[in-house]
């Protein structure tokens, strides 16, 4: 019985430290990254990039969650409609900066 209570307690503790994935990124800080590294493709649709603000194009992507979209943007992604180079082709960006830019685009596209 004590092992069960210990396990239950551990689950409760772990759950209390769960953070909302959207809170992990700063959309406001992502605007500068977007303007400097993402806008060329996401304003024009170059290489199949979904245009920022296009709710239809972003709906299924947003459904995946910001963390998954950020991971794809960091690593790069080739889909049926286009491709996303790793870190948007700017290797100097940090993973957090890429996540911030993704959060910014999500905010524009909801």
Domain count, the chain: 1
Instruction: Give this prediction's pTM.
Output: 0.79
Residues of the domain holding 64: 2-109
Strand, helix or coil at 29? helix
Do 37 and 93 meet the contact criterion of CB atoms below 8 Å apart? yes
pLDDT digits (tens, 9 = 90+) for 19-52: 344 459 999 999 999 999 999 999 999 999 999 9
* pLDDT for the residue 76: 97
CATH number of the domain within which 98 lies: 1.10.760.10
pLDDT digits (tens, 9 = 90+) for 58-82: 999 999 999 999 999 999 999 998 9
Contacting residues for 13 by C-beta, under 8 A, at least 6 apart: none
Output the CA–CA distances (angstroms, integers) from residue 21 to 25, 40, 69, 73, 90, in the order listed. 8, 26, 11, 16, 24
């Amino acid at each position: 019985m004590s092992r069960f209570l210990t396990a239950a307690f551990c689950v409760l503790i772990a759950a209390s430290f769960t953070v909302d994935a959207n809170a992990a990124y700063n959309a406001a800080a992502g605007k500068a990254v977007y303007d400097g590294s993402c806008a060329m493709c996401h304003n024009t649709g170059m290489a199949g990039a979904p245009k920022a603000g296009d709710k239809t194009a972003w709906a299924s992507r947003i459904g995946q969650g910001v963390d998954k979209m950020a991971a794809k943007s960091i690593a790069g992604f080739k889909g049926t409609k286009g491709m996303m180079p790793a870190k948007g082709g700017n290797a100097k960006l940090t993973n957090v900066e890429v996540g911030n830019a993704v959060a910014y685009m999500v905010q524009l596209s909801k």
